[in-house]
Amino acid sequence: MDRLAILERLNAEAPSLRAKYGVKSLAVFGSMARGDDHEGSDVDVLVAFEGPANFDDFMGLKLDLEDLLGRRVDLGTPETLRPEMRAEVQRDLIHVP
């Protein structure tokens, strides 16, 4: 699945993911967002939850995203971003409406 197809799939599935896991926002960053990904690239996704994230919701979302996208997903939250990476991640972000 290429970059455009992944973004379209995320856009289509975002409402159900929000309802199922209490997702406030989703955004893609990293090589997929920059367009320099390759066939084996993972998809970096930044997620913010409506309330405190629990392990089951975090892992459930990660696994559902991997099933939907057919790629490995690295899932992070704004709170877990390392300070030295924050500016680069912010530059790359493609928000899922």
Domain at 74, CATH number:
3.30.460.10
Domain range for 48? 3-96
- pLDDT value for 60: 98
- pLDDT value for 24: 96
Phi, psi for residue 24 in degrees, rounded to 5: -85, -45
Q: Which residues are catalytic?
A: 42, 44
Other C-beta atoms closer than 10 Å to the C-beta of 48 total 14
Dist. CA 64–CA 60, nearest whole Å: 6
Residue 25 burial (10 A CB sphere; 0-12, 13-18, 19+): middle
Residue with tokens 């929000």: 18
pLDDT at 2 over 90: no
- pLDDT value for 93: 96
- pLDDT value for 83: 92
pLDDT tens-digit readout, 6-60: 999 999 999 999 999 999 999 999 999 999 988 889 999 999 999 988 999 999 9
- Asked whether the beta carbons of 70 and 1 are under 8 A apart, the reply is yes
Structural domain count, the chain: 1
- pLDDT value for 64: 98
